[in-house]
Amino acid sequence: MASTIRIAMIQRAFVPFEREANIAIAERAIRAAARDGAHLVALPEMFLTGYPHAPAKDSADWPQFVERLYHTAETADGTSARKLGEIAKDVGVVLIAGICEIHDGRLFNSAFVCDSKGEHIGTYRKVHTCRFTALEDLCEDGDDWHVWPLTVGDQPVRVGVMICYDREHPESARVLMLKGADLIIVPNACGIDERRLIQLRTRAYENVVYIGMANHSTPHNGQSVITNYWGDILAQAGEGDETISADLDLEALRDERTHTIWGNNFRRPWKYGLIAKS
């Protein structure tokens, strides 16, 4: 179909603090996904640093962990991002990748977006950082969600990003829908069970958007998934290293939005004041 694009979610075991090794793993997977016809490819949360397990803050290993994290963090348009942009350009895909970003000496749990020409389009910084974990307590919160108008394949697509724990807060996907997202990409790094899958599928259904989630395999349990705007699963990985892909019909999505009772068609935002109060 003329309005169809193919997206791919890369699920791999990445190596803690080994940027070059992780870029090599990602490159092989990106090139394979492109050969399989993917127009957009996503990598998991903080894939570049392998989302390392943090020791306890009062342990003897904590200072070295913090030092290594700062040492391997990069700017969102740094050397690794440029290398990945070159790969995306070479195979002609839009790429979304999770990184530990450093900016003005501050850490962020981020994802960058580059287009199929390898150009850096933008960066999303996770709003709902996991303050209950030692690793993410080192990161600052992002300020907002963003939607980028991209050309995916030969189709105009508005793509938004939320990262892992963001998906557990309905406001994340709702804001992205209100900003016009057709597709939400979710770089992820945690265990996925049936309840979390139901939760993610609900985000797609209630906002009338496609969603693609890319998780780590080891040390997490994979289960990367792509859903349609009804929340139906189009593709789902197991626990091991795997790439899943699915074809998304954009014309069908836009047609659905003209008559659905979900999404933004019958909301009453002037009555929701309590939700925005701290």
- pLDDT tens for 153-164 read 999 999 999 999
Provide the phi-psi class of 272: left if phi over 0, else alpha when psi is between -120 and 50, else beta: alpha
Residue 275 pLDDT: 87
pLDDT band at residue 55 under the 50/70/90 scheme? very high
Burial of 217-239, coded b for 16+ CB within 10 Å and e otherwise, reads beebbbbbbbbbbebeebbbbee
Residue 2's pLDDT is what? 78
Looking at the structure of the chain, the number of domains it has is 1
What single DSSP character describes residue 138?
Answer: G
Is the confidence at residue 63, as pLDDT, over 70?
Answer: yes
pLDDT over 80 at 1, yes or no: no
Q: pTM of the entire structure?
A: 0.97
Phi, psi of 103 (to 5 degrees): -145, 120
pLDDT single digits (tens) 102-115:
999 999 999 999 99
Domain assignment of residue 150, given as a range = 4-276
3-state secondary structure (DSSP) of residue 276:
helix
CATH code for position 235: 3.60.110.10
